[in-house]
Structure 1
């Protein structure tokens, strides 16, 4: 225990020293930027600074990428695309998947416009990788195929990257022979071109396949090599991932003390770099390890930390999606207003010319003036109609973009509730077998807190707030149009409008699937839904 404490503080000291050194380099590079005269050279230097810090400190890398983007924004050149591409990686590492996808898609359009085939293929792979984290496997595979098609006959590094992604994809499909096939193809290419970082990336993924096959000792050996390489190259994200994955193998071997040690190290690095996605995963794992070690209080506290980071990631994704939609709509409305103002200015100029012409000739009928005025009014009315149409489109976009994130929130909440219920049941069983009154009382108090947490999580406050935003006005429409519907039936209609399944609705309402099916039947009857038409489709077609 003594040596473990010394090692931990030594590790923190090294990290702090490295951080101070990076701070001084960061400041010096900012000073150099001021001395560069042309924007083109300044943007290139900023981008190279971002590349230097990318594997060392993501916040400092993000600063330089954003500065490079600011100098090139709207120019549609390759530097703008490269900066957007890198910012997509930064946002992905921080768990902001919707924002990451937005940056990648903008970079994709720029690379396509500039006919940069190699970078276009690369961004296809990375878009597919984001869809992996969003659990949209069809879209993930679609973009992997696009990337491979573009990379044929081109860069071997790029093709190796595509094979690596496909190997990972087939691993998650549990088609392990296919995954090993693609991993070996990637490994051959990377060794051939002596890409050390890519070789270790493939090793990492092979270890993942071995893990699924139960070959845990081999997993630890391979991932220890990857960890050694990551430390040598100071790749912080790879370091925290490697610690986490080694801990997972030790957990499977029931060596929980070693697993806890590696998870502690993973959390230290992830907290330093603010890797929220990694923190959520590591806190969840260390909670389960402590539970296996019968450290129930620690397991509960770590589970609470997991919940904080998990909810933060989901909330960030929802907020980013809604803000993105609102910004796009605001831009459309502003553009339309400018067009209307330009039309009004043109009309005013024409009106002045007409008045002058009338005064000059004293014979032009007044009807010309009235006609012009009528035309202008029609244009303004048409412009207002266009603005209303845009507002309606943005509401539909909010609904569609939030549906997947709400499903993710329901699944995450259900998994968390199931874990807490199992923990509560085992605590109660443990309490019955213990003689000590003091220990029994402690377990009783802890059980009460967990029961409170279960009750709180079951309310799904965050989800209901988002549902209220998306279904704004929908409930009022149901009350007006279908007066026979009860409050419960209207709430189920709102959830069906989100295209949620019976099981998901039952989980949200803390009810049984049979009860929801009965409610669906009553809704069909009261709304006179035509035979053969799905209830969800009928509700989604209703206009608010």
Structure 2
């Protein structure tokens, strides 16, 4: 029952274009029409029609017929399209659904032929309700998106909002409430960003948000949305929309068991539908009242209202009739009138099955008609097609030759380009290879140069130390012969010994050494997991540059035996079996 209520409300709201005006605007247009002529007069009549169609549909229909006649006299097809759209909305309001569908499709086809985006947008928007009534929801969404595209082409934000509301409404029917809410919020943002959009849109958005909360059984929040929508619709004097929201409010109160308030709003809705002579909507109010009365266990009153609804059977669609039969079955069953209950149950089931099979039957009929049409058409076109086939063969052969020529030309161009590209690549590779070789040679030259500098510096230190040592020995020999030793002479000998072992010379040596063998000591320490002393570093560095024990002893001012002992201790610390293995390790170390 809730789904049926939402279905009717949404289907009706989908017919709401930008057709609502204040009474002052309607009066203003009435006064202007006699002063206008030509296309401007037709546009004004169509605008007045849109303002009157919900409150005085008969007068609106007369005005649309007048607009059609004037459009034909002045050769103004766009004016006739808009008049057709207005008539489609009025037919739909009167529940004359087939007439509405036919005239709206005519407006849509003509708009496409004229490339009249305004008419195309509004005809698509109006056809949405028709497709929903036929359960063709995919088509309804397709029309709505097409309407959005058309609205953007004519820069009509209000029309874009209306289509977003329509898509949200279809999503509600399909129970995709999260998507529905997203489209409604997008529409609401557009309304807030564009103050020129009629307030009626905000009412429609709030009404749909109320429906979503009703579906989620959150009737308190739903009532808040409905009442906000009611304020908007009452301010725009849109009686049909006012009645629509009043029915929703009554339904929400009925679900909250607040039957007095539910009755009050149903009364107001029924009064408006009677004024508008909308028979189907009156029947819908009766159906809603009966649901409430069954809930109150007033089964006989519910039956009376349902029978009043069936009196308007000619205006009812299958879905609404099925719901009425279902309620009559429940009411009679509760009163133990089982023969009538069974009869109504059978009617309910039959209509329910009919609704389910209706779409399949319509699709089969449509396919049959299309097949017959295509068969006749194909017979008439056989001779023409044969001639066209021969003509196309000639054109095709020329096209094939042309395409093959183009392909061959492209292949030649591609081959030449590829060959040049390959040559260039080979040339670049050769140059890069030459540069790499030159860089390697330069690095090798620099390495050998630095290595030579290191050896020369080490030899210089060795020569210096040997000369100093020789001078020291000579000086000591002379002092031993001289019984009167001077303290200054002894101090000079001490300084000469220190000069041999000086840190400044070692620092300079290290600078040269690390230029040739960077990270030499850290590599040893990391590889062997040890920490080298300064003395050990000196021994290893001198071994690395292939100095003999004697040369090392002279450089470090120690004896050759001391060098041998130091090498032995280093061999054990580094974990080598013999000195040769250690020297090979040092030689291979970068």
Q: TM-score, normalised by structure 1?
A: 0.52
Verify: 1:299 aligned to 2:338, yes or no: no
Higher mean alpha-carbon deviation, 279-288 vs 72-81, is at: 72-81
Give me the whole-angstrom Cα distance separating, in 2, the residues matched to 1:305 and 1:263.
14
Q: Among 258, 264, 277, which residue is 1:215 paired with?
A: 258
Give me the whole-angstrom Cα distance separating, in 1, the residues matched to 2:70 and 2:337.
52
Verify: 1:61 aligned to 2:104, yes or no: no
Report if the CA contact (8 A) 2:68-2:80 is conserved. Answer: no
Q: Which runs of 5+ in 1 are unaligned?
A: 1-20, 327-341, 355-367, 376-544
Q: How do residues 22-41 of structure 1 correspond to structure 2 at under 5 angstroms? A: 32=69, 36=73, 37-41=75-79
Report if the CA contact (8 A) 1:163-1:186 is conserved. Answer: yes
User: Could you report, residue by residue, the CA deviation over 1:428-487 in whole angstroms, capped at 9, with x for unpaired residues?
Assistant: xxxxxxxxxxxxxxxxxxxxxxxxxxxxxxxxxxxxxxxxxxxxxxxxxxxxxxxxxxxx
Q: How do residues 434-473 of structure 1 correspond to structure 2 at under 5 angstroms? A: none
Q: Which runs of 5+ in 2 are unaligned?
A: 1-57, 369-387, 409-590
Give the Å deviation of 1:194. 3.8
Relative to structure 1, the CA distance from residue 252 to residue 324 in structure 2 (aligned partners, 3 Å threshold; closer, same or farther) is same
User: Could you report, residue by residue, the CA deviation over 1:350-375 in whole angstroms, capped at 9, with x for unpaired residues?
Assistant: 74599xxxxxxxxxxxxx69956999
Residue matched to 1:205:
248
User: Could you report, residue by residue, the CA deviation over 1:201-244 in whole angstroms, capped at 9, with x for unpaired residues?
Assistant: 32222112111111123212210220111011112342222111
Report if the CA contact (8 A) 2:329-2:342 is conserved. Answer: yes
Give the Å deviation of 1:321. 8.8
Report if the CA contact (8 A) 1:94-1:276 is conserved. Answer: no
Q: Among 147, 166, 177, which residue is 1:137 paired with?
A: 177
- Number of aligned residue pairs: give it: 327
Residue matched to 1:357:
none
Give the Å deviation of 1:95. 4.5
Residue matched to 2:165:
125
Residue matched to 1:242:
285
Higher mean alpha-carbon deviation, 248-257 vs 71-80, is at: 71-80
Q: How do residues 96-175 of structure 1 correspond to structure 2 at under 5 angstroms? A: 96-152=136-192, 153=195, 154-175=197-218
Give me the whole-angstrom Cα distance separating, in 2, the residues matched to 1:344 and 1:78.
44
Higher mean alpha-carbon deviation, 314-323 vs 207-216, is at: 314-323
Give me the whole-angstrom Cα distance separating, in 1, the residues matched to 2:127 and 2:229.
26
Relative to structure 1, the CA distance from residue 197 to residue 280 in structure 2 (aligned partners, 3 Å threshold; closer, same or farther) is same
Residue matched to 1:314:
356
Give me the whole-angstrom Cα distance separating, in 2, the residues matched to 1:186 and 1:214.
22
Residue matched to 1:255:
298
Report if the CA contact (8 A) 1:280-1:305 is conserved. Answer: yes
Q: Among 275, 278, 289, which residue is 2:331 paired with?
A: 289
Give me the whole-angstrom Cα distance separating, in 2, the residues matched to 1:96 and 1:293.
39
Verify: 1:84 aligned to 2:124, yes or no: yes
SS in 1 for 2:94: coil
Relative to structure 1, the CA distance from residue 63 to residue 268 in structure 2 (aligned partners, 3 Å threshold; closer, same or farther) is farther
Verify: 1:42 aligned to 2:80, yes or no: yes
Higher mean alpha-carbon deviation, 295-304 vs 226-235, is at: 295-304
Give the Å deviation of 1:47. 2.0
Relative to structure 1, the CA distance from residue 255 to residue 98 in structure 2 (aligned partners, 3 Å threshold; closer, same or farther) is farther
Give the Å deviation of 1:291. 1.5
Residue matched to 2:231:
188
SS in 1 for 2:257: coil
SS in 2 for 1:183: helix
Q: How do residues 412-451 of structure 1 correspond to structure 2 at under 5 angstroms? A: none
Give me the whole-angstrom Cα distance separating, in 2, the residues matched to 1:114 and 1:160.
24
Give me the whole-angstrom Cα distance separating, in 2, the residues matched to 1:321 and 1:162.
34
Give the Å deviation of 1:284. 1.7
Relative to structure 1, the CA distance from residue 243 to residue 164 in structure 2 (aligned partners, 3 Å threshold; closer, same or farther) is same
SS in 1 for 2:311: helix
Give the Å deviation of 1:26. 13
Give me the whole-angstrom Cα distance separating, in 2, the residues matched to 1:77 and 1:204.
35
Verify: 1:73 aligned to 2:116, yes or no: no
Q: TM-score, normalised by structure 2?
A: 0.48
Give the Å deviation of 1:170. 0.9
Verify: 1:178 aligned to 2:221, yes or no: yes
Give the Å deviation of 1:72. 1.5
Give the Å deviation of 1:109. 3.1
Give me the whole-angstrom Cα distance separating, in 1, the residues matched to 2:396 and 2:138.
48
Structure showing greater radius of gyration is: 2
Give me the whole-angstrom Cα distance separating, in 2, the residues matched to 1:369 and 1:55.
60
Q: How do residues 456-535 of structure 1 correspond to structure 2 at under 5 angstroms? A: none
SS in 2 for 1:214: coil
SS in 1 for 2:100: helix
- CA RMSD between the two structures: 4.1
Give me the whole-angstrom Cα distance separating, in 2, the residues matched to 1:147 and 1:344.
55
Relative to structure 1, the CA distance from residue 139 to residue 86 in structure 2 (aligned partners, 3 Å threshold; closer, same or farther) is same
Report if the CA contact (8 A) 1:91-1:99 is conserved. Answer: yes
Q: How do residues 316-355 of structure 1 correspond to structure 2 at under 5 angstroms? A: 316-317=358-359, 348-349=394-395, 351-352=397-398
Residue matched to 2:5:
none
Relative to structure 1, the CA distance from residue 56 to residue 318 in structure 2 (aligned partners, 3 Å threshold; closer, same or farther) is same
Report if the CA contact (8 A) 2:127-2:143 is conserved. Answer: yes
Give the Å deviation of 1:197. 3.3
Relative to structure 1, the CA distance from residue 370 to residue 82 in structure 2 (aligned partners, 3 Å threshold; closer, same or farther) is closer
Give the Å deviation of 1:180. 2.3
Report if the CA contact (8 A) 1:58-1:90 is conserved. Answer: no
Relative to structure 1, the CA distance from residue 27 to residue 300 in structure 2 (aligned partners, 3 Å threshold; closer, same or farther) is farther
Higher mean alpha-carbon deviation, 281-290 vs 106-115, is at: 106-115
Give the Å deviation of 1:274. 4.6
Give the Å deviation of 1:181. 2.3
SS in 2 for 1:73: helix
Give me the whole-angstrom Cα distance separating, in 2, the residues matched to 1:325 and 1:137.
34
Report if the CA contact (8 A) 2:112-2:120 is conserved. Answer: yes
SS in 2 for 1:257: helix
